Structure 1
Amino acid sequence: MTANETPPMATPRVAAGALFFNDEGHVLLVRPNYKNHWDIPGGYVEPGESPRAACIREVEEELGLAPPIGPMLVVDWAPTESEGDKILFIFDGGALSTTQEHSIRFADGEVAEWRYVPAHDLEQHSPARLARRIRTAIAVQSNGGSTYAEHGIAI
């Protein structure tokens, strides 16, 4: 390598989402029109945007809500063969009130529906790697902390 060359470095895609719960501890999932599975509200981070800011923006775009977003629960190194390197953040959205639930509007048209799902049913709605990431976030949220994960599994 010459002095003018830089070493190869990862350029991962970065996404962020929020974990919302109901009073029974079930997780809010959304069904995007462009995916074959359910997901948590969120999306890709735009250039110059922080993961937390992206999470707030995506929740407002997808659900028409601007609830307070709490601390980061999980940062997950989760590359895929089809999309390459990925770093995925989950932030604590807390519990939505009944009023907030009734105010959900699919502002940007990307989401077709939403529902609460018990943790033990996550694989019926989403890929196993996403279910692992959500379960890791649930465990961390109940203990009041944050964690680093790889492929959804806390390290």
Structure 2
Amino acid sequence: MAGVGDADDPDRFAYLAEGNAKQARKRVAADVLLTDTAGQILLVNPTYKPDWDMPGGMAEANEPPRAAARRELREELGLDLEVGQLLVLEWAPPHGPWDDTLMFVFDGGTLDDATIATLQPTDAELDELAFMPADDARSLLRPYVWHRLNAALQARQDATTVYFEAQQHQQYRG
């Protein structure tokens, strides 16, 4: 017979289920910082928005962020690789029609020339991809994406993880 507080206790299960139904659910996105041997950054040009972005995308329901990053690389670029260290965790406030989001950026490492030679968009969501220096990347990215990418570059250099809340930087408007 189940006791109060036991995992099999139906009253406790109902209490937890009610809490789960009422508590906030966070949207999660996972991007990947990839570079070439010259240190240039891989960016992708999505077909569904006006600006370039880092490779990656939204996590599916109950999908771990690292697995989402790896899945997105496979789907969009045909690239199957282990995703490394978490470089950035950013909380993005509600903006436009979107609720708040947890943005993860993982280190995808440096791609060799042979891999880069075969790299191409494999999903209709992407129009093109390019490796470019940071200054060129900055001019193609929305300010808040550039801030996230720049933080990831610094975190990679420092072998650390950075957390920040985007509202502190007033990056999200409208």
| Fold conserved between structures, TM > 0.5 | yes
| Match for residue 99 of structure 1 among 101, 114, 117 | 114
* Contact map agreement 2:120 2:128 (CA 8 A) in 1: no
What are the equivalent positions in structure 2 for 1:4-153 lying under 5 Å apart? Answer: 9-82=23-96, 83-151=98-166
Structure 1: tracts of 5 or more residues without a match: none
Q: Distance in 2 between matches of 1:84 and 1:134?
A: 21
* Contact map agreement 2:36 2:113 (CA 8 A) in 1: no
Structure 2: tracts of 5 or more residues without a match: 1-14, 170-174
Identity, in percent, stands at: 36
Q: Distance in 2 between matches of 1:15 and 1:32?
A: 15
Q: Distance in 1 between matches of 2:22 and 2:137?
A: 37
Q: Distance in 1 between matches of 2:122 and 2:136?
A: 27
- When Rg is computed on C-alpha atoms for both structures, the one with the higher figure is 2
Q: Which of the two has greater helix per residue?
A: 2
Partner SS for 1:115: strand
Partner SS for 1:91: strand
RMSD (Å), alpha carbons: 2.2
With over 3 angstroms needed to count, the CA separation of the structure-2 counterparts of 1:46 and 1:119, relative to structure 1, is: same
So what's the TM-score if we normalise by structure 1? 0.88
So what's the TM-score if we normalise by structure 2? 0.79
Count residues with an aligned counterpart: 151
